[in-house]
Structure formats: structure tokens, C-alpha cells
């Protein structure tokens, strides 16, 4: 059975806190490149590191929108570690993903924190039948 891939904002609402996620396939200017997500070397390296270091993660969709629909999964990853600069697991993750000063260590990857307050703007997406009604308009 295929895995249900949730939008990152739905995950934030479900867990009730700010959430961490990674996107891939961006060049340094933030423009999407034409590459398959499952062939992205940075994503492969990150997944191997997360698994080797015992981090809980899963595939996720990016922030949902009422104005457009994404055509498919693009390789994004939700990391279940809380965003807490005093949490050892978060500190280790941040040190792996970023250089001191915040520059990312790996190309074609972005490290995000989605605030719960922003995710709550899409709470209406959780209403029964919302996505079915949206699909009918496309």
C-alpha cells in the first residue's frame, strides 16, 4: 500500500508545534532545478545520516496552498526532532546540515523551520472533504 504523504503544515498542526523539514532540488538562488528527487546526492547523504544517527523522519509535501496544487512528491523530508536550540538532537542535526554561521553544507538542499502559527493558516484544509472539493475544481 502506498505511503500517504502529508503536507508539512498538516504535520505541524497534527504534532502541535513548529516543525523541521528539508527540501531539495534548489540551486543556490532558490530556483528549482530539473532533477529527479530520488537521484539527488544531497538527499541520499542526508537520509543515510539521519538513519545512521537514529533520527525519525518521513517524506512530506511542502506547504499546501489554496491557489495551486503540486504535481507530485519532490523529495521533501519532515524530521521529527523539535526545533529547540537547547536540545542535543537538534544541535547535532543543525551542526551536520549547516556550517557555523548558517550556510548549508550540502548543495541543492534547504533546511526549514515551519512555525505552527503559519501552519495554522491552513487549518481549514483539515476539514472533512476539503481536498476532494479542491480536486473537483481542477
Domains of the chain, by residue range, sit at 8-136
User: pLDDT value at position 101?
Assistant: 92
Residues 1-16: what's their mean pLDDT?
A: 88
pLDDT band at 71 (very low <50, low <70, confident <90, very high): low
What is the value of pTM for the model shown?
Answer: 0.86
Cell of 11: 504535520
Cell of 30: 532558490
Euclidean distance between CA atoms 33 and 64, whole angstroms: 20
pLDDT band at 4 (very low <50, low <70, confident <90, very high): confident
Q: What is the pLDDT of residues 32-46, one digit of tens each?
A: 777 788 888 999 999
Measured on CA atoms in the order 15, 73, 120, 78, is the torsion positive or negative? positive
User: What letter would DSSP give residue 86?
Assistant: T
Euclidean distance between CA atoms 39 and 64, whole angstroms: 24
Amino acid at each position: 500500500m502506498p505511503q500517504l504523504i502529508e503536507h508539512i503544515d498538516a504535520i505541524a498542526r497534527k504534532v502541535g508545534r513548529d516543525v523541521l523539514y528539508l527540501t531539495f532540488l534548489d540551486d543556490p538562488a532558490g530556483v528549482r532545478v530539473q532533477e529527479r528527487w530520488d537521484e539527488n546526492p544531497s538527499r541520499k547523504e542526508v537520509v543515510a545520516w539521519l538513519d545512521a544517527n537514529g533520527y525519525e523522519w518521513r517524506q512530506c509535501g511542502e506547504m499546501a496552498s489554496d491557489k495551486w496544487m503540486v504535481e507530485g512528491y519532490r523529495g521533501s523530508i519532515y524530521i521529527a526532532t523539535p526545533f529547540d536550540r537547547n536540545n542535543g538532537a537538534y544541535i547535532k542535526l543543525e551542526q551536520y546540515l549547516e556550517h557555523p554561521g548558517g550556510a548549508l553544507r550540502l548543495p541543492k538542499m534547504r533546511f526549514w523551520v515551519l512555525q505552527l502559527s503559519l501552519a495554522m493558516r491552513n487549518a481549514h484544509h483539515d476539514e472533512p472533504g476539503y481536498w476532494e472539493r479542491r480536486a473537483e475544481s481542477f
